[in-house]
């Protein structure tokens, strides 16, 4: 496929998603500028990131350290912001902090030291972090995201770490649950969270299949892959 063809495809996907965001904002009595689109580029090549930057996309998301690191290096000239949204091993945390502009998936205290060290080595100021909270039923918790009961302590730890900046919360709706109900619970958790951390207003929630429900419940960032870029190439 020619580069021109791909650009048109991505531009069309982007326009369709932006329309969905606009409509969801209108329906929720919010303005479209309250919601930032993070295009999740995992499995897609650096050339797609280049196209997205050319189409004025400000932020991309990645969920695997090696792939993210390589792409960020290849796209260092673009000025696009890199959001790390994937599961994080504590021995990779410092490395992720060397290129990520936002780490959305902070879900346990063990990650904080490595992220802080990486941010200090990079020397670009405090690293913006979101705490990923689990919306799974209690018996399924522990996979990704801190359990709601442990959220306050983790948020306090991030907020009190000078190399890090607590930006807000991130969550993924559980498979098989109505996303409207899941994000409604998330909105309740966030209300409580904002009492302690009024500045940490980012709420990253909503993907290709449930961005409308997320916007209805206050998302400030939606993370969308397939609806912009098409079906992902099969798992590597």
Residues near ligand PLP (CB under 6 A):
40, 42, 63, 85-86, 172, 207-209, 223-227
- In terms of CB distance, is 90 or 208 closer to ligand PLP? 208
Note the Cα 208 to chain centre separation in Å.
13
Provide the minimum distance between the beta carbon of 121 and ligand PLP in the complex, in angstroms, as a whole number: 26
C-beta of residue 78 within 8 angstroms of C-beta of residue 50: yes
Distance in angstroms (rounded) separating the CA atoms of residues 193 and 8: 41
- Considering the complex, state which of residue 87 and residue 109 has its C-beta at the smaller distance from ligand PLP: 87
3-class secondary structure, 220: coil
* Complex with ligand PLP: residue 190 or 223, whichever CB lies closer: 223
Q: What one-character DSSP code corresponds to residue 31?
A: -
**Closest distance to ligand PLP from the beta carbon of 114 (Å):** 20
Check if the beta carbon of residue 88 is closer than 8 Å to that of residue 111.
yes
For residues 84 and 88, give the distance between their C-alpha atoms in angstroms, rounded to a whole number. 9
What's the closest the beta carbon of residue 68 comes to ligand PLP, in angstroms? 11
CB closer to ligand PLP out of 218 and 225: 225
- CB 176 to ligand PLP: min, Å: 15
Residue 120 CB, nearest distance to ligand PLP (Å)?
26
- CB-based burial, 62-90: b 16+ in 10 Å, e otherwise: bbbbebbbebbeebeebebbbbbbbebee
Closest residue to ligand PLP, based on beta-carbon distance:
225
Q: Give 118 or 225: the residue with its C-beta nearer to ligand PLP.
A: 225
């Amino acid at each position: 496929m020619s580069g021109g063809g791909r650009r048109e495809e991505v531009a069309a996907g982007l326009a369709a998603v932006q329309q969905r965001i606009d409509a969801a904002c209108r329906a929720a009595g919010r303005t479209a500028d309250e919601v930032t689109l993070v295009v999740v580029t995992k499995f897609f090549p650096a050339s797609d990131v280049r196209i997205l930057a050319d189409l004025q996309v400000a932020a991309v998301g990645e969920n695997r350290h090696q792939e993210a690191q390589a792409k960020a290096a290849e796209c260092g000239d673009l000025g696009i912001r890199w959001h790390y949204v994937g599961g994080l091993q504590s021995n990779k945390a410092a490395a992720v902090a060397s290129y990520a502009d936002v780490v959305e998936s902070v879900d346990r205290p063990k990650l904080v030291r490595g992220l802080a060290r990486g941010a200090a080595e990079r020397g670009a100021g405090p690293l913006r972090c979101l705490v990923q909270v689990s919306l799974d039923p209690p018996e399924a918790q522990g996979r990704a995201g801190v359990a709601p009961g442990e959220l306050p302590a983790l948020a306090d730890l991030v907020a009190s770490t000078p190399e890090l900046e607590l930006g807000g919360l991130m969550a993924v709706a559980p498979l098989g649950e109505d996303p409207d109900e899941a994000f409604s619970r998330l909105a309740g958790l966030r209300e409580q969270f904002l009492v302690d951390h009024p500045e940490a207003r980012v709420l990253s929630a909503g993907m290709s299949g449930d961005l409308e429900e997320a916007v209805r419940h206050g998302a400030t960032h939606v993370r969308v892959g397939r609806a912009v870029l098409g079906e992902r190439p099969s798992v590597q």
